[in-house]
Chains A and B, each alone.
Chain A
């Protein structure tokens, strides 16, 4: 039962990374890829229909973590105290920037909120990247199963580690570049006109950087977590993830060369999902690995809630998932296709009509 919930949770985080990761990446590129105020509105319109739904995956995954692995939820969130609040504040700022930027047709107003949106998105990509790095590296869990990480200690990856060290910072950087590439690929698919071409150009530069950084981070991970790759080799689920990653990279390449943007974006989604899935498959059953003593680690077995609760949740969870995909499918069908700047201009003209 704990294994089932570990898998479902990994899938939920993968869904969050794919959907909201696209939104973060788009936000991080926002000021670079869109050169005029109208293009900036076009970018926001491209992600508008489902960005809120994408974000709910984080809340839902957080709820499921709380439900299925309360000890992991409690230990991780209290241990990462300051980083969690930084992350939450960025989510608040980003959400509010997206909401209010269109309320006033004033250039200073929009420039300010565009900058808040871009800055908080980039910071979120870095913070989630650092968090991912922390999970891979491990955390200083003591004999009592507790921890509290300062933002940084000596930037080393052994013993009393902090949230930031050379390894987690390089994972953060990798995540930012990966999500930017993911964002650019998605934006090329969702928009038309000069913005589409510019997004393609960014994607063309960003994907090679992703591949290089992926190799670097893989080597680093092998050094920081000896045994990481050995366990990938032993686990069929991890092979699947590695295969998704490889197939994803290939589709991105093929899609970009042939100009088939949906293929490229599908590949990009696979890459992101494959990375989350691969990490989860390799770490199982550990959820929080202790850098002090592996015996202190919190696993899916000793961090889980009682069996009966898990079984009951498995009854209602699939129903909720189907409903959720249904709503999103409905919205996506109604809002699919490319977003063009001409309509964006028309909307802006409409909204700036001042009532007398």
Chain B
């Protein structure tokens, strides 16, 4: 069967595309929300209206980002049924718990309050509006937890039993919700979202500084952006990324081998900086590697034995080794770059001379898209590393797709999403670009009818 008529390939591509695109927006809202909360709090404590102004400016961008996140998120829940009917039948009794909880606990909270956050400032006391921002922030992070708990079950199933008909059923709700994998992912993923938020804030500050406009706001975006950016970037790598890697090494050993393009087993396993996996020849071409580092990262000693792909049966290998290898290396490479850039910038910011460093400001501005790429690459690592399983070790991806849907229908809807999401993306960039060009000082806090909720 060629790829183009294999329905499973198209189901996977459709879900990968819609989920990756969707996640551009929530990572930014989850990254911005805590900053908005902090600024509103500072504004109340210090009475400095400029903090309130900053919160208002970013709340406006938050509102638009949130809306795009909502509309691109709605399809995903239903795609479990349309495209992954096999999986829904098999695991719905378990993963349905967290998906329903997300709607009931997180979405109701966010949907009721976000309008009041974006448009209701004039009608509330400062404290009430601050409380609303805390509610929206909590809702967005709560939503992340429920999704990550769902994904963690697919990575590392716990708290279930197997029903007589072979499907999964819930055995222990507490165990399912407290999945160690979920908490590890939550820490890693949320700090990565904070990196995205920090880069957007710092990049915008750098842009204003380079133009010489909105001086005070630029100063503050830079200072808060780079400080948060450094803290979050470090946490993404250590301890959260490190812990995540150790979980993979312990529970998904074959995925670790594929992520590193490692075919042969042995001690002193190197970590590859650059190289091209050659799956047919079972080797890595042109490797530049640091010996022993993979052994150390995965097991804590340089001499630990790290098994390569050939040590595992081929039908348990991840199905797309090359993209998995690159996704992992892009994520890790960018993560390292973030620490370096934000480290330099924070040092200068504390010494009070970041505003004068034009080259660094340019770098901060141009680096703005990179955390989004790193976040997407991180998720691709997790999801392609899980293959060929849909529920790790229990249920194969191939069995989970909707068998009644032909490739033609899936390609049709994929094309539809491509067109629709292209329009959405252009619209979003245009409107956010316009808001950024206007800048915070001119933000009147209200535009259009949604602005006034009496």
Contact = CB atoms under 8 A, between A and B. Distances in A.
A96 B424 contact: yes
B115 A323 contact: no
A84 interface: yes
A321 interface: yes
B115 A331 contact: yes
B9 interface: no
Interface string A161-192: 00000000000000000000000000000000
Q: Which of B86, B444, B453 has the most CB of A within 10 A?
A: B453
A146 B403 contact: yes
Given A89-B416, A316-B101, A78 B448 contact: no
A111 B440 CA distance: 28
A289 B405 CA distance: 20
Nearest to A337: B454
B112 A324 contact: yes
Please give me the 4 A-B residue pairs with the lowest Cβ-Cβ distance, nearest first.
A102-B448, A70-B92, A77-B81, A67-B96
24 contacts: A53-B108, A56-B108, A59-B107, A60-B100, A63-B77, A63-B103, A66-B96, A67-B99, A68-B96, A71-B92, A73-B81, A77-B80, A77-B82, A92-B75, A95-B70, A96-B67, A103-B447, A146-B404, A316-B104, A331-B112, A331-B453, A335-B454, A339-B454, A350-B444
Interface string A196-210: 000000000000000
B92 A347 contact: no
Contacts of A49: 115-116, 453
B77 A59 contact: yes
* Size range of the chain B interface in the assembly: 35 or more
B101 A309 contact: no
A50 B447 CA distance: 18
A7 B135 CA distance: 30
Interface stretch (A38-46, A232-240, A279-287): A38-46
Given A49-B115, A312-B173, A63 B89 contact: no
A220 interface: no
B83 A78 contact: yes
A266 interface: no
B452 A60 contact: no
Contact of A147 (B74, B124, B404): B404
A98 B100 CA distance: 26
A152 interface: no
Interface in B91-140: 91-97, 99-105, 107-109, 111-116, 119-120, 123-124, 135
Contact of B169 (A44, A85, A309): A309
A351 B167 CA distance: 55
Contact of A99 (B64, B82, B95): B64
A327 B112 contact: yes
A96 B68 CA distance: 7
B59 interface: no
A195 B19 CA distance: 41
Given A82-B409, A334-B123, A306 B104 contact: no
A88 interface: yes
B427 interface: yes
A254 to B, nearest CB: 29
A60 B85 CA distance: 19
A119 to B, nearest CB: 14
Contact of A101 (B405, B416, B444, B448): B448
B427 A62 contact: no
A343 interface: yes
Interface in A327-341: 327-328, 330-331, 334-335, 337, 339
B78 interface: yes
Interface string A296-333: 00000000011011001100110011011001101100
Contact of A96 (B102, B170, B427): B427
Contacts of A105: 447-448
A84 B424 CA distance: 20
B104 A321 contact: yes
Interface of B: 63-64, 67-68, 70-72, 74-75, 77-78, 80-83, 85-86, 88-89, 91-97, 99-105, 107-109, 111-116, 119-120, 123-124, 135, 163, 167, 169-171, 173, 402-405, 409, 412-413, 416, 420, 424, 427, 431, 434, 438-439, 441-442, 444, 446-454
A321 B107 CA distance: 12
Contacts of B91: 70
A205 to B, nearest CB: 27
A41 B108 CA distance: 25
Given A66-B80, A85-B416, 20 more contacts: A42-B449, A49-B453, A56-B108, A59-B77, A60-B100, A64-B96, A66-B81, A66-B96, A77-B80, A103-B64, A105-B448, A305-B93, A309-B169, A312-B173, A316-B104, A320-B104, A324-B108, A334-B120, A334-B124, A348-B449
Interface in A90-116: 91-93, 95-96, 98-103, 105
Contacts of A347: 446, 448-449, 451-452
A66 B115 contact: no
Contacts, number: 268
A78 B404 contact: yes
Contacts of B115: 48-49, 52, 331
A76 interface: yes
B451 A74 contact: no
Nearest to A76: B81
Contacts of B405: 78, 81, 148
Contacts of A81: 82, 402, 404-405, 409, 413
A85 B451 CA distance: 31
B104 A60 contact: yes
A220 B441 CA distance: 62
A58 B442 CA distance: 38
B45 to A, nearest CB: 25
A149 to B, nearest CB: 10
A153 B88 CA distance: 27
Contacts of A48: 115, 119, 449-450, 453
Contact of B420 (A52, A55, A89, A317): A89
A347 B93 CA distance: 48
A148 B83 CA distance: 12
B325 to A, nearest CB: 33
Given A70-B88, A337-B454, A60 B103 contact: yes
A64 B81 contact: no
Given A56-B107, A67-B92, A41 B81 contact: no
A5 to B, nearest CB: 11
Nearest to A351: B447
